[in-house]
Chains A and B, each alone.
Chain A
Amino acid sequence: MDKILVGLKRVVDYNVRVRVKSDGSGVETDGVKMSINPFDEIALEEALRIRDRGEAREVVVVSIGPSDAQQQLRTGLAMGADRAILVETSSAPDPLTGARILLEMVNREKPDLVILGKQAIDNDNSQTGQMLAALWGRPQATFASKLALDGTKATVTREVDSGLELLEVDLPAVVTVDLRMNEPRYVKLPDIMKAKKKPLDQIALASLGISTGAVASVTAFEPPQQRQKGVMVSDVAGLVAAMKDKGLL
């Protein structure tokens, strides 16, 4: 195949414990470490492996977000992507707008395969890949843990609630990946240097002429209900007694 398009979203690093601001106006993101959404990193790793096996010619990474998302695209280039595109927006758009933007990138780049993360760990929406596939009128294979290409088709193993599902899709298609698909490589210093020379195009959202439709608005943020730390028991007998006391057994 010729080309694989991969989406990279800039999100708060998964190790950061996100907190709601005390005035309830949002979550605290000032000075917080930002990274590539972990699922997207796996998507990119898979695309790179396909290319490095000789099954694709080029891997293009796309991010939609603020100018700072260039950092994540540079990391993607350092991992091995050939080119990067940043569609610059003031903040990350809603999933439907994101899917429309990706569709525009698909129309320009004409990839044979789009690989995205199954969800972004900030808003946990898990919508963008499915929406892109719908708007594009192409197959979707979500929550994938294995991807095998065969000419004009792909066979995808999906992690579903009841086990593992095998789905066959015609290409081009959208695949969204789950965590067990692969383990992303670490970038080495020379790769970071090399990545600086790779092309990174910036496109202003306004130039795409995409209208953002009716968007759900967030009207309040609150911290989740905290569980209280309970009691420590000293042995099995104590544990059984405590559970019996609470009517659990």
Chain B
Amino acid sequence: MVKVLVIAEHDGKRLNASTAKCVACAAAIPGADIHVAVLGENGERVAREATSLAGISKVIQIDNAANAYPVAAVLAPQIAKLAAAYTHILGPSTTFGRDLMPRVAALLNVNQISDIMQVLGSHTFKRPIYAGNAIVTVEAPAGHPVVGTVRMASYRGVDNTGKAATERASIGVELPKHTRFISLQAGKSDRPDLQTASRVVSGGRALGSSENFGIIFRLADAIGAAVGASRAAVDAGFVPNEMQVGQTGKIIAPELYIAIGISGAIQHLTGIKDARTIVAINKDGDAPIFEVADFGLVGDLFKLVPELEQALKS
């Protein structure tokens, strides 16, 4: 019997799109019976949303005041306890899952399979190493629970045509008080979410300042795109950290990615390998970004980007 527990990511109000992608990965495991666990303070609304994830048979709602904000040290012992009834425990390879799941794995005495990009069998998976420069096939040891994180750019979320039931559960396990959430300073934006947007426009060091980055935002708005950035642009303080794309930022797979004034360092390319189409604008015709771009345009971005914005608006 293959029983998969997917750990839902949410903000207390809404399910994160990462959960539907984890379910898609879980569904690729042959013979999987999939449950989704919602750990929250009052998870009713999120649990209800989760019941519509296609392909799952049950949502388990675990309410506890300690779960108001996801703290790995608090969630992990609860999940480890729940895990006894499952063969697989999956979470997203977002900062939420990357923080939490290894702690769960250690409590279960197993290594984690990080960044699952393909399921080949109940214990066999493909995952990237060396910033995606190599893909390995790994076989998790038989007779042990499989704990894994799911690479977001590799899966399309399942649709919301499901009708699973919700079951409330309480977990008798002592929770540590040594780790306390204080605050979250979240960027507010009316633009599409970088991780799930079908179009993304990114700017690099070449923009030179946060004021100049405005031309990236205007181009993005003209085509309804999310906005990303290279690490150099984030380090220089042009835009906040949550906009970084790449090995140590977000790994994304939009239909269209437009890289502007970005050289195309391997660490940046790791984040956009799965984009369907890459467009690059750079004044250096030898920039490595052109090696992977489907369409390249050489020239000064300060002239070309406003021109492109005008052309796309009209």
Contact = CB atoms under 8 A, between A and B. Distances in A.
A155 B183 CA distance: 11
A165 B137 CA distance: 34
A242 interface: yes
Contacts of A17: 133, 266
Interface string A123-157: 11111101111110111111101000000000100
A164 B184 CA distance: 6
Interface stretch (B30-38, B81-89, B303-311): B303-311
A242 B105 contact: no
Contacts of A216: 111, 113, 138-141
Contact of A140 (B103, B285, B298): B103
A88 to B, nearest CB: 21
Interface in A57-105: 94-96, 99
B190 interface: no
A239 B312 CA distance: 11
A27 B110 CA distance: 25
A221 B266 CA distance: 19
B136 A140 contact: no
B71 interface: yes
Contacts of B140: 216
A161 B110 CA distance: 26
B181 A131 contact: no
Contact of B234 (A27, A167, A180): A180
A240 B311 contact: yes
B161 interface: no
B178 A224 contact: no
Given A138-B178, A216-B113, A127 B128 contact: no
B235 A180 contact: yes
A248 interface: yes
Contacts of B136: 218, 220-222
Interface stretch (A46-54, A202-210, A228-236): A228-236
A166 B179 CA distance: 11
Interface residues of B, number: 85
A142 B311 contact: no
Contacts of B248: 118-119, 178-179
Contact of A217 (B102, B138, B294, B307): B138
Interface stretch (B42-50, B203-211, B272-280): B272-280
B167 to A, nearest CB: 27
Contacts of B186: 162-163
B197 interface: no
Contact of A168 (B180, B250, B256, B296): B180
B295 A142 contact: no
Nearest to A223: B134
B96 interface: yes
Contact of A95 (B102, B109, B178, B223): B102
Contact of B307 (A230, A232, A236): A236
B294 A19 contact: no
B84 to A, nearest CB: 17
A17 B297 CA distance: 26
A171 B261 CA distance: 43
B187 interface: yes
Nearest to A240: B311
Contact of B115 (A20, A124, A168): A124
Of the candidates B100, B129, B176, the one having the most CB atoms from chain A within 10 angstroms of its own CB is B129
Nearest to B269: A227
B19 to A, nearest CB: 13
A213 interface: yes
Nearest to A143: B95
Contacts of A235: 297
A165 B141 contact: no
List the 5 closest A-B pairs by CB distance, nearest first.
A214-B141, A230-B294, A134-B106, A130-B102, A131-B106
Interface of B: 11, 71-73, 76, 94-96, 98-100, 102-103, 105-107, 109-115, 124, 128-141, 143-144, 176, 178-187, 195, 223, 231, 234-235, 240-242, 247-248, 250, 255-256, 266-267, 273, 277-279, 285, 290-298, 304, 307-308, 311-312
Given A130-B99, A230-B293, 12 more contacts: A121-B130, A123-B129, A127-B114, A131-B103, A138-B178, A162-B186, A165-B181, A179-B235, A213-B109, A222-B135, A229-B290, A236-B307
